[in-house]
Amino acid sequence: MRHLWWKVLCGLLLAYVTVFSFIVPLGPGVIGVDQTSLSSGENTVIIQSYNAHLEESDLQVFLGINDSTYLCTEVLEQVDNDKLKVRFTLPQDAPNTSFNILMNNAKDGTMFFPNAFRYADAAGTSGDFEWSSCPVSVVNQENTGFSIPFQPIIYETIRNLMFHVPMWFTMFFLMGIALVSSLRYLSNSKTEHDLRALAAVQVGLVFCVLGLITGSVWARFTWGAWWVNDPQLNGALVTFLIYVAYIILRNSIEDDQKRAKIAAVFNIFAFVILFVLLMVLPRFSESLHPGKGGNPAFNKYDLDNTLRMVFYPAVIGWILLGYWIYQLRLRLHRIEKKFYYNENV
Amino acid sequence: MAFVLLLCITMKALMYLIKHEFRMEFRQKYAIASILLFTVSTIYVVYQAMKKIDDSNVWNAILWIILLFSAFNAIGKSFSTEQRSLRMYLYTTVKPQQFVLAKLIYNSLFMVVLGLLALGVFSLFLGDGGLGPLKLGTYILGVVMGSVGFACLLTLIAGIAAQTDSGSGMTAVLGLPITIPLILIIMRFTTQIMKGIPFEDNVQNILYLGVLNVGLIGLTYLLFPYLWRD
């Protein structure tokens, strides 16, 4: 029973991750407005929020012009659960600019929605303009509830972080095992190492497919397409193709010894190419993918203790699960080998 | 002194092997002829389909597709044409590293010639795609480096494919996914030439390609001895 501790740990971690990532609510935020262009004089707009406590009495809404200038607005009424009607007045000679929305109450903290409106009037001045900034006094900037951080565009799909990203970590871990096994096979020609490489590639491919599927579903909801042309995605697909080629190569050689040796050579060659493709090439090309090309992944918004509490256990849990399946697969291969040898020899 | 002597012997063996490759190729003239026929007739098919290509991106893409498949065709055969008895003789006389270096050098030279020829015939039929004489020099550099890249990448793959039961048809299955990084770099280099971006801002791509090629040669040198003997 003692050697089973990591399997128990794996089950517990994954159960924790699944429960946690589906039960913890998304933090409050603003997701849109009913109109994007403003006119001078009085404007009445409806702000759409998500998971925010609009019914709080200390709710304040500001229009941010820059880091120090804010316009006051008058909260008229709560239209329904998520919608808020506000009114504000723009001066007649306001310059052309864009406005951010900042919403605050003591419970939710500050909710920020960048570039919500544009004021682009032909008569607008462009020089220095003195806005009559309103005094801002808020009780609390941070969200007090226990929640997953709210991110524009990504919204609820941020939960995919606990599933999509660890899939690739696990795949790399398994492909690493395959590489080491192939290297060891070339140095000592033990069948065991060949079986290890095979099992690791097979299980790694499963995680690769899961990574592609979770990524594709996520892309459909955030980018609007199942697949886009992006260095990160190309790399993922080529990884899949190369390891499928590895399996095809193995099946096309009859002789066991020869198959093991040639597959090991191909595996090492393929891994180096993959390294170039996944680690080197995306660094000097633009990408839409989070964490690449200046897109947020783990910057100050995400470096959130709530997310970390789930993300790190998720990575460990999925890697352990991958290793567990790999071990089962390896044992199956060993049994097959033994079975056939007993029969044939 | 002993080291220099050893180096001389190695170089001599290498030169001999390269000569041997050329001699083998010219003895089987039909092999070269079939590759040339493939390349030229593909270009002619594209010519019949499109007559003239004005869009420089399309011109570039089609040229590289033709070069890619010519490379598969040319290098995919490089291990399967040897006779068994000759291979047995080579096993006993030369080292696998020397053998594969000779193959790499021969394949690179062959691919460079084939690439330049394809570029020439392609521009003859389909126009220069807005390349012009000024950018031609850097584009030729791109074709040379790309051809060497194909040769470096596909030599080991062809060696692997020759060992399988399905023979050289396996080269395409194993090689196509693996060539994608190379294609990505070379396409970026050549499309930037087409856009007229100055060479100083584009040179890093050719450097990456050079580093990749050196890495591939090193890998082939290290791994080929394992494929050498059954």
Q: Do A281 and B181 touch (CB under 8 A)?
A: yes
Q: Do B165 and A253 touch (CB under 8 A)?
A: yes
CATH number (domain holding residue A88): 2.60.40.10
**What are A210-263's pLDDT values in tens digits?**
999 999 999 998 888 899 888 788 888 989 999 999 999 999 988 888 899 999
Q: Same structural domain for residues A188 and A270? A: yes
The answer to whether residue A37 is domain-embedded is: yes
The answer to whether residue A148 is domain-embedded is: no
Q: Same structural domain for residues A215 and A105? A: no
β-bridge pairing A83-90 and A97-105: unpaired
In contact, A259 and A310? CB cutoff 8 Å: no
pLDDT given for residue A94 in this prediction: 76
**What are A7-49's pLDDT values in tens digits?**
999 999 999 999 988 888 888 888 888 888 888 888 888 988 8
**What are B128-172's pLDDT values in tens digits?**
877 888 888 899 999 999 999 999 999 999 988 888 877 667 888
Residue at which a domain ends, from A100, A119, A138 = A119
Residue at which a domain ends, from A119, A144, A169 = A119
Q: Same structural domain for residues A54 and A167? A: no
Q: Do B173 and A245 touch (CB under 8 A)?
A: yes
Tell me, letter by letter, the H, E, C secondary structure of chain B.
CHHHHHHHHHHHHHHHHHHHHHHHHHHCHHHHHHHHHHHHHHHHHHHHHHCCCCCHHHHHHHHHHHHHHHHHHHHHCCCCCCCHHHHHHHHHHCCHHHHHHHHHHHHHHHHHHHHHHHHHHHHHHHCCCCCHHHHHHHHHHHHHHHHHHHHHHHHHHHHHHHHCCCHHHHHHHHHHHHHHHHHHHHHHHHHHHHHCCCHHHHHHHHHHHHHHHHHHHHHHHHHHHHHHCC
Q: Same structural domain for residues A195 and A275? A: yes
Of B160, B176, B177, the CB nearest to A262: B160
The answer to whether residue A311 is domain-embedded is: yes
Residue A345's pLDDT band, with cuts at 50, 70 and 90, is very low
Q: Do B176 and A253 touch (CB under 8 A)?
A: no
The answer to whether residue A8 is domain-embedded is: no
The SS3 of residue A102 is strand
The answer to whether residue A43 is domain-embedded is: yes
Q: Same structural domain for residues A60 and A162? A: no
Q: Same structural domain for residues A114 and A165? A: no
In contact, A100 and A112? CB cutoff 8 Å: yes
Interface confidence, given as ipTM, is 0.85
Q: Same structural domain for residues A237 and A291? A: yes
Residue at which a domain ends, from A94, A119, A144 = A119
Instruction: Decide if pLDDT at A299 tops 50.
Output: no
Burial (0-12, 13-18, 19+ Cβ within 10 Å), B5: exposed
Q: Which domain holds residue A96?
A: 29-119
Q: Same structural domain for residues A112 and A172? A: no
| Chain A residues lying within 8 Å of B226, measured CB to CB | 186, 261, 264-265
DSSP state of A64: E
What's the mean pLDDT when you consider all of chain B? 86
Number of domains in chain A: 2
pTM, entire model: 0.83
Q: Which two tokens stand for residue A300?
A: 């100050």
Q: Same structural domain for residues A81 and A169? A: no
Burial (0-12, 13-18, 19+ Cβ within 10 Å), B9: exposed
The answer to whether residue A18 is domain-embedded is: no
What's the mean pLDDT when you consider all of chain A? 84
The answer to whether residue A177 is domain-embedded is: yes
User: By mean pLDDT, which of A165-179, A239-253, A260-274, A291-305 is the weakest?
Assistant: A291-305
CB atoms < 10 A from the CB of B128, how many? 17
Q: How far is B219 from chain A, CA to nearest CA, in Å?
A: 7
